[in-house]
Amino acid sequence: MPLAGAELVQTPVHLYRYLLRCCRLLPSNAMRKHYQHAIRQGYNSHADEEDPERIKMIIERAIADADWILDKYTKKK
């Protein structure tokens, strides 16, 4: 289940901030640093994207991926 506010993500900047907030929920500092770096790299690599449909698809996929990662690392065993 995505974090509260996922439905409000409409722009790449909103997505970037949302994903960095998701990182705060990861259990270890090393994990947080790894995913923060990956988020920055992804943001920079798609900075020149202009197609609104493509941007929407990237946002939806990134939120789904973040949800999967949070489920994977924060589930109680």
Per-residue pLDDT, 38? 97
Residues lower than pLDDT 50 in the chain: none
Q: What is the pLDDT of residue 6?
A: 75
Count of H-run helices and E-run strands, the chain: 3, 0
Tokens in use for 17?
Answer: 């901030």
Say which residues have a Cβ less than 8 Å from residue 12's Cβ, sequence separation at least 6. 43, 46, 47, 49, 55, 58, 59
pLDDT, position 74: 85
For CA atoms 76, 5, 2, 69, the dihedral sign is negative
- Give the predicted TM-score (pTM) of the model: 0.85
Residue count (the chain): 77
pLDDT of residue 8: 83
How much is the pLDDT for 76?
A: 63
What is the C-alpha to C-alpha distance for residues 58 and 35, in angstroms, rounded to an integer?
A: 17
Q: What is the pLDDT of residues 9-28, one digit of tens each?
A: 889 999 999 999 999 999 99
